[in-house]
Structure 1
Amino acid sequence: MPTTSSSIAATRAEEWRTRIGSALRTTVACTVVGLTSLYGPAPLRRYLEFPSFTYATTLLIVSDATLAQTLRGCWRVLCSNVQVMILSLLSLHLIGPSNFTNAVAALAMAASVFVVALPERSHLVTKQLAFGQLVNVFVSTAVDGGKTGVAVHAIHVVCSTAFGALASLASFVATPFPYPRLAYYQTKKLYRLYAENTCERFNCIIEAISASDNSTATGFFTQAKSLSTTGAKLLQSIRTKLDGMHWERPQTKIFNPHWIDPEEKLQDLELPIRAMGIALSTFTSFPVGVIDEELRGVLLNCRGQFSKKLGQQAKCFAPFDTTINSEIKKDILTKNLSVAYKDLPTSFFLYCVHLLLDDSPIAKKNDHLLGKTQKSGDPNWSTREVVMNLIPSNHNLAFAFKSSLSLGLAVFFGLTYNKENGYWAGLLISLCFVTGRHPTFSLANARGQGTAMGSIYGILCCFIFQKNLRFSFLALLPWVFFSSFLKYSRMYGQAGGISAATGALLVIGMKHNEPPIQFALARMVEATIGLLCFVIVEIVFNPCRAATLAKFELSQCLKSLQDCIEQIDISTPTKKEMSFSSCPALRECQKKLKSLADQLEEFTAEAELEPNFLFVPFHNECYKKMLESLSKMADLLIFVAYSMENVMLLSQKNGAFWKDLHDQVNENVRTFNNKISPTLKCLEEITRIKSPRKLENDNLPCDVETQEYPNTNAFGDWSGEEEVNSITSSFIKHLEEMATKTHTNIDEEMLKGQMVFHYSCLGFCTSNLMRETMKIQSEVKELLKWENSSQTNFDKFFC
């Protein structure tokens, strides 16, 4: 029976070490800023007039940063400082500091923010830092009426921001917990954890398919799913660290001709493991009849070889050793000849095992040479690309307008309500902006709650230490430590965690002219003003609900899936130049489908968090099931493309011999296409309908005698397993004919084994694509029933 996974425990321990280290670095950085701004030398404090933004800078940079990410954060601080100095000095010189009224400050703010937000390649963190700095400069000028001159506030803001970056570096050097966080070593450690996790997943899946009863198989399969969730988290962590590696070791990618992209290797490793899980989920009972003792022994022997390969790679990011025992791969190839025409799921399972042992780049693009040819053949290509990059996209223009209007309104209303504390309305939302959509109400709620909690905690500390305020700063350190963990919570996230830490820091870690309670109350009111401006502008620019966008994105996914299905075609290899005509197109369509599915997942997550108001509640479970099916289909389509490429390549060795088989398989593919494509087209059209009642009221043709709508059963008849079983039986029949053919030499026998492998993969994938389409069809029906009244006649929609 399965036992507790060591990789899951090791991953959790590493996760907690990372969070504790992050909390310690954040606490040290805030301590450096607080002590310097409160008790530092007077000449230094003279230039740190904006400790609030110094705190915000440290919280934004230090977080989970490695050395490379900290250096990258400092670079972004430098870029934002340059932008702010140019824009603020230009605005103040042209307008004049004495002319900065509330309205003028808001207009200057809006114009400057638009300029900062417009460049496409400028990083979001750089823009956020520049937004906050501009708020400080323009509001300070409006508050003092221009008495301090043109450049004073800009210099103070830039110095305060730069000191925040220095404090982040200082915290990184002061707290090497448990050792300096270099991106290379962090990635290497996570890579080892992922390798261990993958080995355990592989072992569990092998044990599950080799199990002698259902309960044992279910136990191992459940553990494999749990390991898969942990592996997905490790993959995400590795991807976030890979960018930092380029900052620490830029020469690795540039000057090393044998450099291997770890993300590509991880993808080639992850795909077959996920596909093995798909194959395992199709078995209805255990033990599996076609797996005899000999095949079971081969599979169990694969575990040690696979573990050896992963251990070798995880030590030094080296490629897999291709000299692995070829006897095992030969055994798998041989055993598949007797399995493929009996059980397609087992054959596909062996196919994935063979890919893992052979280190096959299944996800590798084959059209990169075509791209290079197009680029090298067009002398104006690079010039055109540069010009196109300079032109902002519609998406970036919308982001610039949204940021400009939000901050302009926040500054204006913040100054109008309370001129002395007008900073906080704009400062709070300056770090809210993202380039894409996000759950607006959830984000505003998290920031509002975080601000309130932090401010109340600061007031309590000031009340407790009212006789000796010098020691009140000590009570702030546990709160900063605690707030660092709030960033990982589902309720508050990074927005709420940073707001909670900043709320207390600004009450205790700054000197105020008014009592702390009065300052905290004014700041919370200003924060509410800023959040209201932020929410209203977001609603104006994004009036569509996430639930509406999720349904539209679902129809886009179905259209893209239909395009993928139409690209499945094994051309008879009569012409060499035509042999790979459909495979690159299928890979491109699959890539588009994966992108759309990721976007659908984001909209689904946002729709789950947004309030319903007077609308129908979002059917989250239904969308989750459809996303799961779309994810499986996207993975299976990669295997379809890979098997098609190899079939066409192998067919060139003896095209005449495989011609009849190609025709038979193509007939199966056409039957499969004729079943799937109309269904997906119907589903796409149904999900595009905005008002089913309008269609219900239309006068559709109806048989007068039977009172039935024509073709209403054309959609429903496809809901059974008959067509799937028919396609599967046809593939199995052709595989049996191929497997029983005798050949005169070993090379022909090996070629036959490889062709059986790839054809069985194609057969399994097509049958499962049909099954997943049936699941999506069922969920679309459920979604329509959820969104509309039970009296709606759904037969009309399936005509």
Structure 2
Amino acid sequence: MYTSQAPWRLRLGSAFRTVLACSIVGCTTLYGPESVRVFLRFPAFSYVATILIVSDATLGDALRGCWHVLYAIIQVMLPSMLLLRLIGPFGFSRGLAALVVALSSFLIALPGSTHLTAKRIAFGQIVIVYVGAVIQGTETGVIILPIHVATSTALGALASILAMLFPYPHLAYREARKVCRFYAENASHRFNLLVEAFCAKDNMAALNLITDARLFSKAGAKLLRSIKDKHEGVLWEKPWLRFLKPERSEPGEKLKEMNMPIQGMELALTTCSSFPVKMMDEELLGSVQTAKKQIALKLEQVMLSMPFDAATAPETKGEYTNRSSWTRKAISTNHEDLSPFFFLYCMELHQDGPESIVKDGEEAKAQESNQSKKQGKSRMKQILNFSCENLLFAIKCSLTLGLAVLFGLIYNKDNGYWSGITVAISFVTERQATFTVANARAQGTAMGSVYGILCCFMFKNHTDLRFLLLLPWIIFTTFLRHSRMYGESGGIAAVIGALLILGREDYGTPNEFAIARIAEVSIGLICFIAVEILMHPARSATLAKTELSRTLRALHDCFQIIGLYTNRKENSRELLRGKQKNLKYHARELQNFIAEAELEPDFWFLPFHRGCYNKLVGSIYKVADLLHFSIHQIGFLSQASQILGITWEEIQQHISNELEHLTHKTGSLSKCLDMVLLVKSTAEMEKQLQTEHVSHDLESGKSPNGALSTRLGSEENSILEIGNSFLQQTIGVSDKTEGNEVEEMLKSRMVLCLTGLGFCLNNLKREAMEIEKEIAELLKWENPTRHLNLHELLSKLNTT
């Protein structure tokens, strides 16, 4: 079972492997044969390469890291030898070295196919080679200097692989398999807790069980991320998996599918008004408990399956229970029964699998016929986006490294390496909290340097014992890397700061070296911050507002396409999947901007309203989950109604009306948010609204008083009507003339699916109300002097 102690064991294991790798580097560079040490002139970069590769790594990750090191060596060494031959080592000035570093880093950063680790190592090698040419001058060999840099880097990669082999191979495959089983067990516990909560006798017991299930849900999300992180390492250990079907090599996707019904069960329970559930009786309780055992057996078989070798989870043997008892109970007129119905619907999904029992062949063929065209267009868009992003990233790396090397050499020629190396190993392709990362790296460097100085002072007469003091520090910094205060940047800076003092010789007085290096690191970080601000002047809080508007537009598009799907428009299913992916993408981007804005200093700006944004993200993710279930339900109802000969148009009309309403609401909210973001003064906004309003009235001949109110807070009654209308539909379906056994089963499932769809549309409208409420609060917070009233703005926009 995955417990709270598991992260401690994992981090301790990672710490000891890092200790072993650094010990291999230290013993080789300090006590190795002279014939070997003569080629290891840059032991500091050996440590840097080791830390970049070995931290939280497996054997597969180390193999991949060695490939990145080899790729970086080839990229850097050959061009550097040519430049040193053409210009001559004695011809490198500070300015010329900075220019060459900037141009070389630009060329290395530009290709999008190169892995970030390879780029980081290559950046560091570039800095060492060309700064070394300035520092050493005529003593620099055209070939010897690049070879020394290459061998020092290779030592770090070799030490990383050796560390992964002792005391036994630390395989990514084994770790991923273990985490997959942890996740399946986690899902099983969550499922059992939710079923127990559904059958609870009082509110307190149900609430406690739901809380426990949420804790398991958070642990499960971490396990899924861990599986994704280990996937690439598995492919390096078993490269033949790359040629197999994607579903065989990516167990995380299968586990995500297994998680969706459980997530729906949790959502259903959180909306239940009271416990015990009113519809619960002995017959239903018995059916639920029987289904619980069978689903637990299915999850157990998933745990015992080989996640990277089996294409699909093994099928459970035996017959499922007869669920007619709970499908009959879906025939109800009580609005409060919608949540229990949806819970049972999710249990049925979990038991039978997420696929419908009927297929729409024509739609599948249409989807296949258009798939290649859509993929071609999407690939072209991705290429254009990636090329633009890669160009900006290359410019950022070039400017930062060039300036850091230039000012670092001007300040202190002998220690000019560190200003460039500091930023070279810290580049990321995506946005990051610039000030927070720079602050964590500066603090980590200072902490590691001070620790090294203190150790040198305490053991100044026993220099051979200094290296042993690195071992507890490496263990400590491994845990520091996972802390919220310092993170990966601060942890890596702390361990490297101590390694450069205690793990090397002949660098001068420790105190002077530490002070000089801290100053060089500060120069590099200043250049890093300046270029980041120049390349990305917009604050994360501003980007979060803009991304919120884009997310609302993506949500609006989803509702529009679902309406087409409900009306069975051609190719709507393929469009719908694309819009769903787009919504999830924007939701993740919004969440990233929120996390970055929380770490961003306020300066003279208003504090970031993280509580409001977090509630908005929570509602958007909940809407995305509800849309996932709604799409499945609409597809099933459409197909099942044709088989049973039930009139689909009436059900379709109810769905279309609610989707049209939601489409209108989200569109209005997005338009309003855009207007507030773009228009800077209240007078300008009022003038613009008045102009559009008058124009609309003259053309349509309607009075503005006839506009519909867009306030969702006054629509509680309409929410009840949604549930009641779908409950009435279940009565109509259940009254259909009885047929054979297959038709009866299909009809009972259709009844349950109708109640589930009523629940989803009900909660979609509730979440729309929550989104409007939070946006109203956000606009007031962001515009304290403009006296904005969201409901009035929406009403005016509705008439334009």
Give the TM-score taking structure 2 as reference length: 0.91
- Cα offsets for 1:261-320 (capped at 9, x unmatched): 412211111111111111111111111111222112211222222221111121123534
C-alpha distance in 2 between matches for 1:99 and 1:712:
77
Q: Map residues 608-687 of structure 1 onto 2, 5 A cutoff.
A: 608-654=598-644, 657-659=645-647, 662-687=648-673
Retained in 1: the 8 A contact 2:247–2:254?
A: no
Q: 1:719 to 1:68 in 2, by over 3 A?
A: farther
Amino acid at match of 2:540: A
Retained in 2: the 8 A contact 1:341–1:736?
A: no
Which of 34, 37, 42 pairs up with 2:29?
Answer: 37
Question: Post-superposition shift, 1:571?
Answer: 6.4
- For residue 400 of structure 2, give the secondary structure of its aligned residue in structure 1: helix
Question: Post-superposition shift, 1:481?
Answer: 1.5
Amino acid at match of 1:670: S
C-alpha distance in 2 between matches for 1:544 and 1:368:
44
- Cα offsets for 1:730-752 (capped at 9, x unmatched): 11111122123332332332221
Does residue 493 of the first structure (1) align with residue 487 of the second (2)?
yes
Does residue 328 of the first structure (1) align with residue 325 of the second (2)?
no
Does residue 562 of the first structure (1) align with residue 552 of the second (2)?
no
C-alpha distance in 2 between matches for 1:559 and 1:280:
30
What does residue 116 of structure 1 align with? 108
What does residue 450 of structure 2 align with? 456
Does residue 99 of the first structure (1) align with residue 91 of the second (2)?
yes
What does residue 260 of structure 2 align with? 271
C-alpha distance in 2 between matches for 1:187 and 1:76:
22
Which of 419, 422, 426 pairs up with 2:416?
Answer: 422
| RMSD of aligned residue pairs (Cα, Å) | 2.8
- For residue 652 of structure 2, give the secondary structure of its aligned residue in structure 1: helix
Which of 768, 772, 776 pairs up with 1:773?
Answer: 768
Retained in 1: the 8 A contact 2:298–2:316?
A: no
Question: Post-superposition shift, 1:770?
Answer: 0.8
Alignment: residue pair count: 774
Which of 158, 169, 172 pairs up with 1:166?
Answer: 158
Q: Map residues 325-364 of structure 1 onto 2, 5 A cutoff.
A: 325-328=318-321, 330-331=323-324, 334-335=327-328, 337-338=330-331, 343-361=337-355
- For residue 677 of structure 2, give the secondary structure of its aligned residue in structure 1: coil
Question: Post-superposition shift, 1:86?
Answer: 2.4
Q: 1:120 to 1:571 in 2, by over 3 A?
A: closer
C-alpha distance in 2 between matches for 1:719 and 1:388:
43
Amino acid at match of 2:462: N
Which of 497, 504, 512 pairs up with 1:503?
Answer: 497
What does residue 744 of structure 2 align with? 749
What does residue 531 of structure 2 align with? 537
Question: Post-superposition shift, 1:658?
Answer: 2.1
- Cα offsets for 1:218-242 (capped at 9, x unmatched): 1111111111111111111111112
Retained in 1: the 8 A contact 2:333–2:724?
A: no
What does residue 518 of structure 1 align with? 512
Q: Which moved more, 1:481-490 or 1:709-718?
A: 709-718
Q: Map residues 688-707 of structure 1 onto 2, 5 A cutoff.
A: 688=674, 689-690=676-677, 694-697=681-684, 698-699=686-687, 700-701=689-690
C-alpha distance in 1 between matches for 2:360 and 2:403:
48
Amino acid at match of 2:409: L
**Structure 1 gap segments, 5+ residues each:** 1-6
What does residue 15 of structure 1 align with? 7
- For residue 741 of structure 1, give the secondary structure of its aligned residue in structure 2: coil
- For residue 563 of structure 2, give the secondary structure of its aligned residue in structure 1: coil
- Cα offsets for 1:748-793 (capped at 9, x unmatched): 3222122223322222211111111110100001111111226614
Question: Post-superposition shift, 1:718?
Answer: 4.9
Does residue 433 of the first structure (1) align with residue 419 of the second (2)?
no
What does residue 4 of structure 1 align with? none
C-alpha distance in 1 between matches for 2:322 and 2:255:
21
C-alpha distance in 2 between matches for 1:629 and 1:202:
23
Retained in 1: the 8 A contact 2:305–2:313?
A: no
Q: Which moved more, 1:394-403 or 1:143-152?
A: 143-152
Retained in 2: the 8 A contact 1:192–1:315?
A: yes
Does residue 308 of the first structure (1) align with residue 301 of the second (2)?
no
- Cα offsets for 1:14-36 (capped at 9, x unmatched): 22221111000101111111122
Give the TM-score taking structure 1 as reference length: 0.92
Question: Post-superposition shift, 1:587?
Answer: 1.9
Q: Map residues 336-415 of structure 1 onto 2, 5 A cutoff.
A: 337-338=330-331, 343-361=337-355, 373=369, 393-415=387-409
C-alpha distance in 2 between matches for 1:256 and 1:587:
21
Question: Post-superposition shift, 1:365?
Answer: 13
Question: Post-superposition shift, 1:197?
Answer: 1.0
- Cα offsets for 1:361-395 (capped at 9, x unmatched): 58x999997676457789x979x979995996111
Which of 58, 61, 69 pairs up with 1:66?
Answer: 58
Q: Which moved more, 1:414-423 or 1:150-159?
A: 150-159
Retained in 2: the 8 A contact 1:268–1:361?
A: no
- For residue 658 of structure 1, give the secondary structure of its aligned residue in structure 2: coil
Amino acid at match of 2:726: F
C-alpha distance in 1 between matches for 2:380 and 2:572:
31
- For residue 47 of structure 1, give the secondary structure of its aligned residue in structure 2: coil
C-alpha distance in 1 between matches for 2:116 and 2:401:
16
Question: Post-superposition shift, 1:324?
Answer: 4.4
Q: 1:288 to 1:648 in 2, by over 3 A?
A: same
Q: 1:529 to 1:733 in 2, by over 3 A?
A: same
Q: 1:646 to 1:670 in 2, by over 3 A?
A: closer
C-alpha distance in 2 between matches for 1:330 and 1:509:
68
C-alpha distance in 2 between matches for 1:731 and 1:391:
44
Amino acid at match of 1:163: L
- Cα offsets for 1:312-334 (capped at 9, x unmatched): 12112353443444342544664
C-alpha distance in 1 between matches for 2:31 and 2:614:
54
Retained in 2: the 8 A contact 1:696–1:793?
A: no
Retained in 2: the 8 A contact 1:204–1:224?
A: yes
- For residue 132 of structure 1, give the secondary structure of its aligned residue in structure 2: helix
C-alpha distance in 2 between matches for 1:651 and 1:435:
50
Question: Post-superposition shift, 1:681?
Answer: 1.4
Retained in 2: the 8 A contact 1:118–1:392?
A: no
What does residue 3 of structure 1 align with? none
C-alpha distance in 1 between matches for 2:551 and 2:480:
35
Amino acid at match of 1:613: F
Question: Post-superposition shift, 1:148?
Answer: 2.1
Retained in 2: the 8 A contact 1:459–1:516?
A: yes
C-alpha distance in 1 between matches for 2:621 and 2:515:
49
Which of 562, 582, 596 pairs up with 1:606?
Answer: 596
Which of 566, 574, 592 pairs up with 1:584?
Answer: 574
- For residue 432 of structure 1, give the secondary structure of its aligned residue in structure 2: coil
Q: 1:146 to 1:109 in 2, by over 3 A?
A: farther
Does residue 211 of the first structure (1) align with residue 200 of the second (2)?
yes
- Cα offsets for 1:543-575 (capped at 9, x unmatched): 0000111111111110010111112237689xx
Q: 1:375 to 1:701 in 2, by over 3 A?
A: closer
- Cα offsets for 1:324-352 (capped at 9, x unmatched): 44342544664454458762222211111
Retained in 2: the 8 A contact 1:340–1:756?
A: no
C-alpha distance in 2 between matches for 1:676 and 1:375:
29
Between the aligned residues of both structures, percent identity stands at 43
- For residue 459 of structure 1, give the secondary structure of its aligned residue in structure 2: helix
C-alpha distance in 1 between matches for 2:744 and 2:563:
25
- Cα offsets for 1:167-224 (capped at 9, x unmatched): 1112112343xxx321121111111111111111111111111111111111111111
**Structure 2 gap segments, 5+ residues each:** 695-702
Retained in 1: the 8 A contact 2:712–2:769?
A: no
What does residue 177 of structure 2 align with? 188
- For residue 38 of structure 2, give the secondary structure of its aligned residue in structure 1: helix
Retained in 1: the 8 A contact 2:184–2:255?
A: no
- Cα offsets for 1:626-662 (capped at 9, x unmatched): 11111111111111221222223323424xx323xx2
